[in-house]
């Protein structure tokens, strides 16, 4: 329950997530943005795992106390140590909070759920990832994992598709609140002509060569290789567009296929276009790329509520995404504020790309409407208010 101290007006929330700033994950980005938006009304702390041993075990980031549990997935002993440290962190931070909020499904869910119940703290679970955060996938993790998954006091879901899957398994009595990802629309905003020119020069891009942008880690589900093949279909004249990939390509990150980037590099070299294919490391200043590019492409075969797509749209960038029911088609209205193409349809993707690059008037108008869509439906303030409503709901039940 909240503190009985009359001076303590803030709700204290422990956010449990798989990664947090400066490491990058969609859930971590959302936690940081919402914590900032709710400052003064919610006091957040974080327990997170980390793959970077150089990061501090505990530090203050933007006024939020962050506890990190370093994990090396390659070594069993590291996993054992991480499990013990996780329990210690959860006990320490859990005693000081009013609500525990778990983000996504991982091995952290079982100990987090058990400790929250033992401490008498209400539990909120947010479903973030298509495939991973769904009942069928969690069942495969075992009975304890599934029980933890189904026992949250309130479930939030970033997309209609994830909401539907959870309700199918839990029945109508189990509450699920749709809470789409939100965007800081001041940080992610269209660039002026002068800003765009300065950004392109700082990134080493030519002033006039069009740039096609991909943002995401290199997993098979993200289909970066499909985008490369579609881009290869574009005519090289009058100017071949540059293809820029931003995201993790190597081992150490969940789900990454380290061979994808290597194959793209080899094929680009074989076709004499290696100079037009750029690989950039993951960055916490990704808005620089969105604000400088010409077209954004999300060629994924699996998404829930893709943050990168919303970030691109917030920057007024005309965007192409694969049509994923209850996910991308809940964001984009095809031909109005973006383009939707069938999954794994290389030709359709190439045609959509070619069309947006050829008609800059249409592309520009689509980008303007994309920005309006995000302002109307996905500003971070809207997400923050839904999280706050969820915390009040579970506290009022206890």
Per-residue pLDDT of 243-281, as tens digits, reads: 999 999 986 556 789 899 999 999 999 999 999 999 999
* Boundaries of domain holding 295: 193-377
Q: Which residues contact 35 (CB under 8 A, 6 or more apart)?
A: 15, 42, 44, 62, 64
Are 247 and 229 within one domain? yes
- pLDDT at position 174, please? 82
The token duo for 370 is 């994309």
Are 207 and 351 within one domain? yes
Residue 40 lies in a domain: yes
Question: The whole model's pTM is what?
Answer: 0.94
Are 371 and 391 within one domain? no
Are 59 and 177 within one domain? yes
Q: What is the dihedral of CA 67, 72, 75, 76, to 10 degrees?
A: 30
Residue 2 lies in a domain: no
Chain mean pLDDT for the chain: 93
Q: What percent of the chain has pLDDT over 70?
A: 94
Residue 272 lies in a domain: yes
- Asked if residues 390 and 157 have their Cβ atoms less than 8 Å apart, the reply is no
Are 152 and 221 within one domain? no
Residue 261 lies in a domain: yes
Determine the 3-state secondary structure of 98 from DSSP. Answer: coil
Q: Which residues contact 310 (CB under 8 A, 6 or more apart)?
A: 181, 183, 331, 374, 378
CATH code (residue 252): 3.40.50.2000
Q: Please, which pLDDT band fits residue 81 given cuts at 50, 70 and 90?
A: confident
In the chain, the number of structural domains is 2
- pLDDT at position 101, please? 98
Q: Which of 362, 358, 378, 372 is nearest to 306 (CA)?
A: 378
Are 205 and 344 within one domain? yes
Residue 87 lies in a domain: yes
- pLDDT at position 172, please? 80
Are 177 and 264 within one domain? no
Are 163 and 37 within one domain? yes
- pLDDT at position 329, please? 97
Determine the 3-state secondary structure of 217 from DSSP. Answer: coil
């Amino acid at each position: 329950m909240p503190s009985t101290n009359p001076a303590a007006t803030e709700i204290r929330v422990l956010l449990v997530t798989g990664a947090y700033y400066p490491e990058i994950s969609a859930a971590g980005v959302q936690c940081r943005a919402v914590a900032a938006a709710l400052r003064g009304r919610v006091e957040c702390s974080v327990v997170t795992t980390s793959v970077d041993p150089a990061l501090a075990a505990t530090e203050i980031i933007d006024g939020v106390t962050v506890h990190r549990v370093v994990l090396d997935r390659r070594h069993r002993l590291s996993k054992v140590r991480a499990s013990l440290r996780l329990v210690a962190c959860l006990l320490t931070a859990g005693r000081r909070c009013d609500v525990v909020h778990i983000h996504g499904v991982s091995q952290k869910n079982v100990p987090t759920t058990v400790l929250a119940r033992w401490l008498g703290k209400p539990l909120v679970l947010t479903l973030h990832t298509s495939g991973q955060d769904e009942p069928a996938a969690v069942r495969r993790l075992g009975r304890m994992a599934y029980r933890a998954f189904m026992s949250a006091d309130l479930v939030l879901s970033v997309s209609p598709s994830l909401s539907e899957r959870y309700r199918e398994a839990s029945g109508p009595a189990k509450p699920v609140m749709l809470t789409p990802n939100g965007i800081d629309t001041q940080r992610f905003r269209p660039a002026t002509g002068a800003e765009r020119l300065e950004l392109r020069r700082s990134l080493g891009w030519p002033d006039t060569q069009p740039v096609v942008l991909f943002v995401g880690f290199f997993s098979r589900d993200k289909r970066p290789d499909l985008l490369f093949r579609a881009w290869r279909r574009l005519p090289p004249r009058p100017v071949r567009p540059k293809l820029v990939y931003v995201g993790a390509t190597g081992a150490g990150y969940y789900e990454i296929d380290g061979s994808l980037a290597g194959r793209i590099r080899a094929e680009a070299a074989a076709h004499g276009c290696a100079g037009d294919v750029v690989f950039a490391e993951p960055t916490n200043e990704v808005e620089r790329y969105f604000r400088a590019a010409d077209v954004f492409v999300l060629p994924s075969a699996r998404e829930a509520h893709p943050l990168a797509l919303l970030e691109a749209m917030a920057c007024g960038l005309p965007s192409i995404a694969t049509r994923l029911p209850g996910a991308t088609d809940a964001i984009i209205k095809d031909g109005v504020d973006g383009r939707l193409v069938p999954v794994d349809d290389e030709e359709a993707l190439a045609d959509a790309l070619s069309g947006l690059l050829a008609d800059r008037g249409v592309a520009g108008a689509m980008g303007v409407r994309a920005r309006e869509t995000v302002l109307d439906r996905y500003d971070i303030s809207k997400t923050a208010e839904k999280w706050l409503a969820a915390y009040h709901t579970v506290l009022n039940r206890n």
